[in-house]
Homo-oligomer: A and B are copies of this chain.
């Protein structure tokens, strides 16, 4: 037996509530829910007697069924619905032989498996989106609070011109908002009934077929699609993709956080959610970042599996369909864990603004060299200015002296700028551009959406 809904590391890599809703017990319950509502739909349309509903609903409770036995029989039958329906029918028959005749009436295994999967997706969507919202709110708070906190901008992992922590956090917020919308929309588009019978014509239900399908969709509160989609898996693949993109954005934030928390950088560090080390007492490991980054490593491959399985044969696929059963829930689980981890990490983040300032000074003005180059460029031409500042930068670096000092020795510079002007030009605060305006634009977008 595994340790939890998804094994020893289910709680580490997944969000707890999402894990519960994707458990095997929940999977079986979702299948039974579809069977129970099918009974209702059949009765409502008059295909089955009203009296058949209650006996079916009574035993459509997952806790009655032996999951281990189902797993064994599924290995023989090729899916869990075949033994589940057999067991369900036996149970109904003990109380009402007539009702037992209507169990699963008109449906095929794939109708139940797909619709149950859709129901599980819906159940998992709310807690997952909640974690994305938490992360966005935390990012927004950082964007507000730190709009005037300068820090090194970093490109290629090298100091570039300065930015603010507020703009960095606003960037995270902007990214989170976009993926949140995309995930939410992909979830909604996938909440679609699957009901087509053996070959997707609902032939066994006769002319009442579309009424039954319509009633079933209504009872399950799912969209009734134009036609069954047994062999067309784009909605589920699209959902996998949206989650994959979200995990990528969460991984980007986690990578930024892990880099900021490095011993030498120390601009932001994890608070209480961080893990200890089994051997090194002083360490605070960024566990949350590791979880989100692990998801960002795993999910792309899983998305590729969903896409690779799409070319499914004719009216029901052989292999491609089966691949989805565990892969899609795993993508949802990992995304939920990544979202929870990033939300935790952002909520819990300890910012060291003084250290950001100190790190900015490490390069003795080099990071703002562009500022001087641009200013000088107005008089000397961009390329000459660029070359001049490049030379001065190299000299400053080699001699470990402030760039301002080196520039102040160059007559072609001082002809244009006073030492004070150079000094000012090289201060990070003077070279933050429109960081603030960008933060406002992002926050405004976010509030509109909120």
Q: Tell me, yes or no, whether A199 is within 8 Å of chain B by CB.
A: yes
Q: Tell me, yes or no, whether A159 is within 8 Å of chain B by CB.
A: yes
Q: Which partner residue on chain B sits nearest A319 by CB separation?
A: B293
Q: Tell me, yes or no, whether A298 is within 8 Å of chain B by CB.
A: yes
Cα separation A437 to B140 with both chains bound (whole Å): 50
Contact of A241 among B3, B245, B289, B403 (CB under 8 A): B245
Within 8 Å CB of A433, what residues of B? Answer: 197, 201-206, 209
- Closest Cβ of chain B to A266, distance in Å, is 8
- Closest Cβ of chain B to A398, distance in Å, is 11
Contact of A4 among B68, B104, B293, B299 (CB under 8 A): B68
Q: Tell me, yes or no, whether A175 is within 8 Å of chain B by CB.
A: yes
Contact in complex: B203, A370 (CB < 8 Å): yes
Cα separation A234 to B444 with both chains bound (whole Å): 20
Residue in A107, A301, A305 whose Cβ sees the most chain B Cβ within 10 Å: A301
Within 8 Å CB of A24, what residues of B? Answer: 1-3, 7-8
Contact in complex: B305, A303 (CB < 8 Å): no
Interface bits A61-72 vs B (CB < 8 Å: 1, else 0): 000000110111
Contact of A301 among B77, B256, B304, B315 (CB under 8 A): B304
Within 8 Å CB of A245, what residues of B? Answer: 234, 237-238, 241, 307, 310
Cα separation A394 to B312 with both chains bound (whole Å): 28
Q: Which partner residue on chain B sits nearest A274 by CB separation?
A: B78
Contact of A77 among B162, B205, B206, B287 (CB under 8 A): B287
**Other CB < 8 Å A-B pairs besides A155-B285, A282-B394, A297-B305, 19 of them?**
A3-B70, A7-B24, A9-B71, A79-B275, A101-B382, A157-B259, A159-B263, A161-B198, A171-B200, A175-B234, A204-B370, A226-B438, A245-B307, A280-B370, A281-B370, A290-B319, A294-B319, A297-B309, A300-B303
Q: Beyond A167-B227, A282-B363, A363-B282, is A175–B297 a contact (Cβ under 8 Å)?
A: no
Q: Tell me, yes or no, whether A85 is within 8 Å of chain B by CB.
A: yes
Cα separation A347 to B377 with both chains bound (whole Å): 36
- Closest Cβ of chain B to A46, distance in Å, is 13
Within 8 Å CB of A327, what residues of B? Answer: 298, 301
Number of this chain's copies in the complex: 4
Cα separation A23 to B374 with both chains bound (whole Å): 34
The 8 closest A-B pairs by CB, nearest first: A293-B319, A153-B199, A248-B310, A203-B433, A201-B433, A3-B67, A155-B316, A241-B241
Q: Beyond A294-B323, A310-B249, A381-B100, is A278–B81 a contact (Cβ under 8 Å)?
A: yes
Within 8 Å CB of A263, what residues of B? Answer: 152, 154, 157-159, 359, 362-363
Query: Using a CB-CB cutoff of 8 Å, which residues 382-398 of chain A contact chain B?
Result: 382-383, 386-387, 389-390, 393-394, 396-397
